[in-house]
Amino acid sequence: MKDPDWPIGYARLILDEVDSTNAEGLRRAADLAGPTWIHAARQVAGRGRRGRAWSDPVGNFAASLVLRPEGAPGEVALRSFVAALALHDALSAVAPAADLALKWPNDVLLAGGKLAGILLEGTSHGARMDHLVIGIGVNLVEAPLRGEGAVAPVSLRGETGVVIASEALLAHLAAAYARREATFATEGFEPIRAAWMARAARLGQEVTARTMQGETRGIFETVDEAGQLVLATPGGRHVIPAADVFFDREAL
């Protein structure tokens, strides 16, 4: 029986357990006929950015969207903002009073704590990307112990009292993603960027961007048309393509 609320053109694969939904997406990508959500009731070896482990207690949300995108890799990577907006939409729908914000480059915050993370991975040949996998993890019922991340984790249940099954959140997320993807496909990145900025955490405040080469401290000014972080510093504007962003402790 078809779900009338499930977006047209998107398939879904529901699994009991998997090592990582992103890893499963990469394994299956070549055999999928179109955009496909892969959801697991339990993920035992989830991972985050830069190879960090992603703890996934039972009852939390783990899913990945597998796409066959068109465009240059830089343009394809902008779907991290599409996914973040869609996740914000979905969480706002199930918890309307939640204090949600988006943290560059790929986190969703709840009351200042990390509620969710997004990880993009893909396969490519030369300059052409064959498949993109967008992995999303949400702390629905339990916040894992704090690891190396810049912000302490929180859970939706712990902060708001809202309880929702992971498959129910998937339905909200899939519909929200389809809407935001349609905007990206027809109107480009600018409306996505503007909507993301309207939900950005610490805009206009001082933050620290840390890379493998060092760190830059400055005022979070904007995100540019390429999705890069722009900081205003005493030495001028710094444009940062990739980094971990840290907030001032006293401002938390």
**Model pLDDT for residues 188-238, shown as the tens digit of each residue:** 999 999 999 999 999 999 999 999 889 999 999 999 999 999 999 999 999
Higher pLDDT residue, 144 or 45?
Answer: 144
> What confidence tens digit (pLDDT) does each residue in 120-177 have?
999 877 677 889 999 999 999 999 876 555 689 999 999 999 999 999 999 999 999 9
What is the pLDDT, as a whole number, of residue 52?
A: 58
Round to whole Å and give the CA distance between 238 and 217. 9
> What confidence tens digit (pLDDT) does each residue in 74-88 have?
999 999 999 999 999
Range among 12-16, 47-51, 54-58 rated most confident: 12-16
Domains of the chain: 11-197 (3.30.930.10), 206-251 (2.30.30.100)
Residue identified by tokens 């249940």 is: 157
Determine the 3-state secondary structure of 233 from DSSP. strand
Between the alpha carbon of residue 51 and those of residues 120, 185, 200, 252, the distances in Å are: 12, 30, 25, 26
- Report residue 106 as tokens: 């790929």
